[in-house]
A and B are shown apart, each in its own frame.
Chain A
Amino acid sequence: MNILELNAVESGYHKRLNVLKAVSLKVEQGQCVAILGSNGAGKSTLLKTIMGLIDDEPRKGEIIAFGKAIQNKSTEEIARSGIAYVVEGRGMFPELTVFESLQLGAFHRKDKAGIKNDLDKIYEVFPRLAERPKQLCGTMSGGEQQMLAIARAMMSAPKLMMLDEPSLGLAPLLVQDIFQTIKSINSSGTGVLLVEQNATQALKIADYGYVLESGRIVLEGTAQELRENENVRELYLGVSEAKTDKRIFVKRQRRWN
């Protein structure tokens, strides 16, 4: 069963700028899907469009989450339906404490016992957060903030978690930690839609992947297929077979099909 499905979605800004061009993708139950793409490919726009954060978008196409069309719903309804969104740059509330941020994550939940239970579980996963529930979020380090951003999203008990560049600005070891956490969230049954420039890490934990370029899906396949694809290797994984060949002076044309 698909928990998220996009059919030929077109989106952009101010009714003029067209960023996404007929994007179709799907996330199956319990799947971890990665979207790769360089800067300006439209990755963040894609997540914002799904979340309903851009007014009057998507202009075309349909977005189906958990069997219901959500393209015309408000952000609040979409969040309540079970989609959590970890924004790019962590989106901290600098003047709220760690505990308050986590409470805010569970804002629309009513089951007090469930919230308490989840909070304990999260403190177990992130002992750093358990140590300092009273610390202001703005004073934490980048890695701690990213952990809090993920923990906050977990507090809403989502069925699908969307993450925008969780590795942004983190040291390589921390990046591995974060991706391990995402993997474990995924294996507990939550679907994950991961937008990432760090293709190496993303393809390690993902089941399926899409390559987004200039607003179009140019390639899709299982993580294994993508890892072996020549173009992906060269452009996103930084492994170049052509480098040793001195006779090629012209930059090799990218051809996806």
Chain B
Amino acid sequence: MSQLIQVIASGLAIGSIYALIALGIVLLYRTTSILNFAHGEFGLFGTFMAFTFFNSLKLPYPLSFLLSLLAAALLGGIISILLVKPARASFNIGLAILLAALAYGLGVNLIISAAIGIAIAVVSYIFLEQPNRNPSELGLLILTLGVNLFLQGFYSLSFGSDNKILPSIVSNTSIKFAGASVSLGSIFTSLMGLVIMLLLWLLLNHSKIGLAMRALAQREDVAKAMGIPVRLVSFATWATSAALAGAAALLLAPSTLLSPSLLLDPVSKGFVAAVIGGMNSLPGAIVGGYILGLLELFVGVYISNELKASLAFIIVILVLILKPHGLLGKPEIKRV
């Protein structure tokens, strides 16, 4: 009995982290139909900023928590400006960064490499504008992959790839409950997860910008014709999605070590949770996250710890066979 309570408590905690990641992915996918492979990197940015605020600037913990969420949101928003259709600039910037990195790798001075990058960006913007005016969904997906690689390199370069410790916001103790000892951290994580989901619900259902986000997700052309500022709404969507990733990363970081590979596993689990719930359903993302978190713990404790790693993918296969659109997803009908 006491073990069961412990398993459920830890399962809910890890489940709410998966759910937050899945919510971010689904929110963005619904509204802009972009599958964001840089999602984890947005979250990482939040944790690294929190680390900087807390350790170097000595800000109080809750303040650095909030500021780093804001920083993650801002990063997401800025990336949206590059990727929103027509993504004229993004291809050129990507090309420039690639060539600058190549030059740097070949041993050229950093400033000269940067100059080469800027020159390439300007030249390619002038000459290569036409073919990538309206990148396809696949093109945007590849662009997010590029953003992912770029940010990973950036983190390793500026924060180092060694492990850091981000302290927990609550004390590292456990409370006794019906014979079981449940760590305060996992209770805090679960509660924060619920609070953030509630905030997201309020944003989407009781604010003007949330209404516009939902409208844009359903009929982009009509929303546009109604005078909804598509760029602003898309900025807000990316920012919200990135803030969700940041929140998940900040909740996860204290229980493990902070490094550029912190979110590698949770983000892939977040994608799995999103698929289980149905890629275009927000409640589905929450359900998927909790199901995955709880089942992982149950299987790990009661069946076998080896099975835990492959469990997520077994569940995805099962769900896709039984319900191809996910548990709460709706079939997507597209007029061509």
Q: Is the CB of B226 within 8 A of A105?
A: yes
**Residues of B close to A80: CB separation below 8 A:** 227
Asked whether any CB of chain B lies closer than 8 Å to the CB of A31, the reply is no
Which chain B residues lie closer than 8 Å to A213 at the CB level?
Answer: none
Q: Are A93 and B225 in contact (CB under 8 A)?
A: no
Smallest CB–CB gap between B257 and chain A, Å?
Answer: 41
Total interface residues in chain B, CB < 8 Å: 20
Interface contact B86-A104, CB-CB below 8 Å = no
A151, B219: Cα distance in complex, Å: 17
| In contact, B226 and A79 (Cβ under 8 angstroms) | yes
Q: How far is the CA of A200 from the CA of B21 in the complex (A)?
A: 56
Complex alpha-carbon distance, A95 and B280, angstroms: 12
Contact A53-B225, Cβ < 8 Å, known A93-B214, A96-B218, A104-B215: yes
Residue B222, interface by CB 8 Å: yes
Q: Is the CB of A100 within 8 A of B224?
A: no
Contact of A107 with B218 at beta-carbon distance under 8 Å, contacts A55-B133, A100-B211 already known: no
- In-complex Cβ contact of B227 among A55, A96, A100, A156 (8 A): A156
B221 to nearest A CB, angstroms? 6
A76 in contact with B218 (CB, 8 Å)? no
CA distance A92 to B226 in the complex (A): 12
Contact B214 A76 (CB under 8 A): no
CB distance from A103 to the nearest CB of B (A): 6
Residues of A within 8 Å of B133, CB to CB, are: 55
B141 at the interface (CB under 8 A from A): no
Find chain B residues with CB under 8 A from A75 CB: 224-225, 227
The answer on a CB contact under 8 Å between A94 and B224 is: no
Rounded to whole angstroms, the CA-CA distance of A59 and B223 in the bound complex is 24
Q: Are B134 and A55 in contact (CB under 8 A)?
A: yes
How far, in Å, is B272 (CB) from chain A's closest CB? 25
Nearest residue (CB) in B for A109 is B227
Contact yes or no, A93 B215, CB < 8 A: yes
Which chain A positions have C-beta within 8 A of B215?
Answer: 93, 96, 104
B334 interface hit (Cβ, 8 Å): no
Asked if B86 and A76 make an inter-chain contact with CB atoms under 8 angstroms apart, the answer reads no
Among A93, A96, A107, A152, contact of B208 (Cβ-Cβ < 8 Å): A107
Contacts A93-B214, A104-B212, A107-B208; A79 near B221 (Cβ below 8 A): no
A156 to B86, CA, bound (A): 27
B230 within 8 A of A: yes
Chain A, 227-248, CB within 8 A of any chain B CB: none
Question: Interface digits, B224-235 against A, CB 8 Å rule (1 contact, 0 not)?
Answer: 111111100000
A85 in complex: contacting residue of B214, B225, B229, CB < 8 Å: B225
Given contacts A96-B214, A107-B208, contact A53 B226 (CB under 8 A): no
Q: Who on chain A is nearest to B221 by CB? A: A53
How far is A27 from B211 in the complex, measured between Cα atoms in Å? 33
A91 at the interface (CB under 8 A from B): yes
- Of chain B, the residue at the smallest CB distance from A108 is B227
Interface residues of chain B: helix, strand, loop or mixed (majority): helix
Report if A87-B230 is in contact (Cβ < 8 Å); known contacts: A96-B214, A100-B211, A107-B212. no
A68 to B23, CA, bound (A): 44
Q: Is A119 an interface residue (CB 8 A)?
A: no
- Judge whether B227 and A87 touch: CB under 8 Å: no
Scoring B133, B218, B221, B222 by chain A CB atoms within 10 A of each residue's CB, the highest score goes to B222
- Is the Cβ of B225 less than 8 Å from the Cβ of A87? yes
Bound CA–CA A92/B219 (angstroms): 8
Chain B: minimal CB distance from A88 (Å): 11
Indicate which residue in B222, B224, B229 contacts A93 across the interface (CB closer than 8 Å). Answer: B222
CB of B224 within 8 A of CB of A103, answer: no
A87 CB contact (under 8 Å) in B134, B221, B229: B221
- Asked if A79 meets B225 with Cβ closer than 8 Å, knowing A100-B211, A103-B211, A107-B208, the reply is yes
Name which residue of chain B comes closest to A82, CB basis.
Answer: B227
Check B211–A76 contact: CB distance below 8 A: no
Q: How far is the CA of A152 from the CA of B211 in the complex (A)?
A: 14
Minimum CB–CB distance from B333 to chain A (whole Å) comes to 10
A95–B218 CB distance below 8 A: yes
Are A91 and B229 in contact (CB-based, < 8 A)? no
Contact B222–A76 (Cβ < 8 Å) = no
Are the C-beta atoms of A93 and B218 separated by less than 8 Å? Answer: yes
> CB-nearest residue of chain B relative to A81?
B227
CB of B247 to closest CB in A, whole Å? 25
CB-defined interface of B65-89 with A at 8 Å, one 1/0 digit per residue?
0000000000000000000001000
Asked whether any CB of chain B lies closer than 8 Å to the CB of A223, the reply is no
Q: Can you identify 6 A-B contacts, CB atoms within 8 angstroms?
A: A53-B221, A79-B226, A79-B227, A91-B225, A95-B214, A156-B226
Chain B contact residues, CB within 8 Å of chain A: 86, 133-134, 208, 211-212, 214-215, 218-219, 221-230
Interface residues, chain A, CB within 8 Å of chain B? Answer: 51, 53, 55, 75-76, 78-80, 84-85, 87, 91-96, 100, 103-105, 107-108, 152, 156
Task: Given contact pairs A96-B214, A96-B215, enumerate 14 new A-B contacts (beta carbons under 8 Å).
Answer: A53-B221, A55-B86, A55-B134, A75-B225, A79-B225, A79-B227, A92-B219, A93-B215, A93-B223, A100-B211, A103-B208, A104-B226, A107-B208, A108-B228
